[in-house]
Structure 1
Amino acid sequence: MTIHRTTLEPRRILAVRERVAMTALTDFFARAFGASAAALESSGLHPAGPPVAVYVGTPGTTVDVAAGFPFTGPLTAPEGTVIVDLPSGDAVEAIHVGPYDELSVTYEAVGRELVDAGLTHTDTMFEEYLTDPDTSPDPGTWRTRIVFPLQ
């Protein structure tokens, strides 16, 4: 795994945002990604990238999360969805390869890198799901971009 600094460009996603129990994230993602994709389509737009989950604050038994798709063009959020501005500017990112239930290994490595480099991240971070499990069923090949915007 490679952890490196990057500069994020401004992007927006159309998402469903809720406070969700950590144990219910899989069900939430299925519902939120489906609703966001349908809302984009009904607005005449298409996803402008892979699905994204934005986490605000420190997860505990629940987490404040928005899940949806990036888009370009004018859009008013349809009922049940919100427009989320992804953080821009300096960030640290890593690409996790493997199943989602092993993401904690990459998170721990990024956390150590941040501490070792004396960097502080904002209270918002996000994941981009670069591999579609429906078309790549082997979890060992799944790629997830983990991004920590810096203060």
Structure 2
Amino acid sequence: MRKFVWDTSAIVNIKEPNSDGYSPAHSFYKDLNDGWVEGEYLNIFPALAVFEVEATVSKKHRNRQPILREFYLMGENAILYDVGRELISKCVDLFTLDGFDTLQGADLVFACIAYIEDAYLITMDRKLAMHASKQIKVIDLNESIDSENYRSLFE
């Protein structure tokens, strides 16, 4: 089973199409749901991301930028991943790994979850992608900003 950990930048991008109506995160999410990526899969949404997404949406609303306040990503192929004591105990030895030792805040949480779950980390944060890719599989959606370049990973 393929697993995908979604960081906040990718989750927010699901709701933010460009002027042509294209969003790489939405496209990838849809490709998973439509079966374009073959086989079983699991979307992992760290619980911490709920707060980060809401804060980002509020900031965009304050700046009069259009973005949906509510949207629903959870389904039969998704879990909300607890960020608590159990995760911390599994991550202690990961904090000093090359690349991980430069991550800050929630980026380290997302990378650790991807490492523990042997999952792809889906992001639009170039710095996170660059550093985390030293230890885990990363799908940097910036490389698919105009078209579905991520598909080459699954062909």
Give TM-score, length-normalised by structure 2.
Answer: 0.25
Greater percentage in helix:
2
Give TM-score, length-normalised by structure 1.
Answer: 0.25
Greater percentage in strand:
1
